[in-house]
Chains A and B, each alone.
Chain A
Amino acid sequence: MLLQINFKSGKPVYLQVVDQVKAAAAAGGLQAGEPLPSIRPLAEELRLNRNTVAKAYTELESQGIIETIPGKGCFLKPNQSPLRKEVRRKLLIEEIDQAVVKAHHLQVPAGEFLELVRERLEVMDEKRRASERNSGQTGALPFRSTTDRH
């Protein structure tokens, strides 16, 4: 999981971190029980305000995506679907609505949009399968540092 901040996206920076961690978790770039980088090295690497990264981690924790184990760091939670089905659907609908609005702005027609969604689902699926095949090799993550420096 390598994060990349895009200041031109118009999305709050801490939310970009939140969404990219979630995306990595969904695509297998980050697996259950795997550690996230500590706040300090991640903030330094992305040259982001430490408080921004801390805010993102707090948000991820309150959404039940990650957990902090004192003295050890932050980890992706093993089974992270603590939300009831309708809540999950509601959260997803908000995201879909945004994508629909964006598609409208970019003048992508409905058919093409649906095709794109199908394509992305397949790409994510493929990524997840690939990372599951490689999941025996731990420690191969491209983090610059995963040592806990709290």
Chain B
Amino acid sequence: MNTDMNQLETAIEINGLTYAYGRAEAVHEFNLTVPAGRCYGLFGRNGAGKTTAMKCLLNLLRPCGGTVRVLGLDPAKAEVEVKRRLAYVPDAVAFYPWMTVRETLDYLASFRAHWNREIERDLAGRFRLDAGQPTGALSKGQRTQVALIAAICPEPELLLLDEPTSGLDPIVRREFIETVIGAYQEGDPGKRTILVSTHLIAEFEGLIDEFTLMDRGRNVLTLGADQARERYQKIRARFPQAAPAVEFKEAMDVRRNGRELELIANGGGAGILEQLRGLGPESLTSEALTLEEVFVATLK
């Protein structure tokens, strides 16, 4: 089964994926390509279809239409092989509540061919987890930490994170992200792929190198993170008198307030700046939109 494991260029390939819960369509002709080695963000509002799409990758749901390939394989036909090579951290983590942390990790390790004990010891210490505590007595943050340890110790090629940090406190969130960078990415630099779905975009900003914005089951925007920050600009101008009532064709959004103008540009920033300069502003500034602001500007 070791075919193209070394030359694999695409970790995830989704083509025309459609899924409906009864008559309610959650994902509609959705496309997504995640190159191997990338940290890829899947952004969208609650109910955009992110979790449904991820569940199709795991064969937890069978697509109504379209194709899904994970590490070059069809998860419906090669479920064991696919699950052997990836790990998944869902939003709500559930363990047997009567098992201790130690027993839970041993239990989860028993399903894996490979389990890095050193990483396990490292992370359990870092998260200050009590091995003898039943998981039923853990906080939500601690349960997520156990799930993260269980996801990283098998050192999978692909890490699927579905809203992993929602509902956690800021310290736990930071530790979560640092762990993904340190313990996971460092293991096999440049080869480990991460797909993270979230609406808490700001925290993942530095980690994401490419993203897809999903809305109502569809792919609305796919872009590199640096590219997005270069293309989307917030331009502010202040005039000595009331801001001129000029139309800005290239602006996505214009806000006016007395002498001030705020424009959002998607690509045409230079042209808008040129146009504004011609109007004799008192001050003129521009800055990049963060990924979260790109999200808001696109879906508003």
Residues of A within 8 A of B (CB): 5, 7-10, 12-13, 39-41, 43-44, 46-52, 54, 105-107
Contacts and interface: CB of A to CB of B under 8 A. Distances in A.
29 contacts: A7-B205, A7-B288, A7-B291, A8-B289, A10-B230, A12-B226, A13-B225, A43-B181, A43-B185, A44-B178, A44-B181, A44-B182, A46-B206, A47-B181, A47-B206, A48-B206, A49-B206, A49-B208, A49-B209, A50-B181, A50-B182, A50-B185, A50-B189, A51-B37, A51-B185, A51-B189, A52-B209, A105-B277, A105-B286
Contact of B189 (A9, A13, A54): A54
Contacts of A39: 186
Contacts of B203: 47
A13 B182 contact: no
B240 to A, nearest CB: 13
Given A13-B226, A43-B181, A43-B182, A51 B209 contact: yes
Nearest to A40: B186
A59 to B, nearest CB: 14
Contacts of B39: 49, 51
B209 A47 contact: no
Contacts of B168: none
Nearest to A7: B290
B247 to A, nearest CB: 22
A-B pairs, 5 with minimum CB distance: A10-B288, A50-B185, A48-B206, A12-B226, A44-B178
B52 interface: no
A9 B284 CA distance: 15
Contact of B186 (A5, A7, A9, A50): A50
A141 B230 CA distance: 33
B83 interface: no
Given A48-B207, A51-B189, A9 B182 contact: no
A12 B283 CA distance: 26
